[in-house]
A and B are shown apart, each in its own frame.
Chain A
Amino acid sequence: MSRRTDAPIIVTVCPRGPMLIRGAAEVITGDGEHHPVRRPVAAVCRCGKSALFPWCDGTHKLLPRDKQPDASTPADVELR
């Protein structure tokens, strides 16, 4: 699948939460699966516990502070 536009992918990291992505056509997870992005802004899980992985489902809020992702925790995905 090719990129939807020529616009760059913009990533906004939410402290202790997901990362918001704009302009990506798909998210590729570690197992090689391609997940098409269906909305203008998507929240990608960074805590690794989402039942909808790679999408955020809010589970990070239920984790103890030291298990929540900090500003530098990468999401285990590739954006395209």
Chain B
Amino acid sequence: MVDLTLDRLLDLERRGWDALCGSTGGAFYGALMTPSALMVLVDGSVLDRDAVVASLDGAPPWDSYELHDVRRVGLGDGAQFFDEHVEADAVHEQLAMRAICEQMALEDPSLEEDIIVGAVTSLSLDGPVATELFAAWERGRHLSALPAFQAVAS
């Protein structure tokens, strides 16, 4: 994740418009966009990356462009909420290992195998759950539509 300063955003914006003026917008935005990114146009239409690549390369070139009154709006509290959780997870994961598991094993070495079974079980369950969640996210589906969720809810 790169910090999106106004300078960096402006640089990307100019390079994007330069590409559109040379009919190479598809290649430029195809390389820039992540697989799940969307391009929203002023008329409200929404293009995913594949649609951008297909429609912008070879499109009639723009003659020129001008950028005025540029400002960075920011993502607001949502981005801060996300960062806070990433930061908190990073701390808690280490505390669980160092302050809880390691300490327990030092105080009572006979618990060592139990602790390892617990850790391996938890990580083994995390894998398949995360795979399902990511798949749903990438397909734009709500988590409540997952078969596992439906089974528990019914």
Contact = CB atoms under 8 A, between A and B. Distances in A.
Given A39-B91, A58-B93, A14 B98 contact: yes
B97 A57 contact: no
Nearest to B97: A14
Given A12-B98, A14-B98, A20-B98, A42 B86 contact: no
A41 B100 CA distance: 14
A51 B1 contact: yes
Interface size bracket, B side: 10 to 19
A58 B93 CA distance: 9
Given A12-B98, A41-B95, A55 B87 contact: yes
A46 B144 CA distance: 38
Contacts of A69: none
Interface string B86-103: 111111011101100000
Nearest to B86: A57
A43 B90 contact: yes
Nearest to A56: B90
B91 A57 contact: no
Interface string A37-80: 00101110000000110011110000000000000000000000
Interface of A: 12, 14, 17-18, 20, 39, 41-43, 51-52, 55-58
**Complex A-B, nearest 4 residue pairs according to Cβ-Cβ distance, in ascending order:** A51-B1, A56-B90, A43-B91, A43-B90
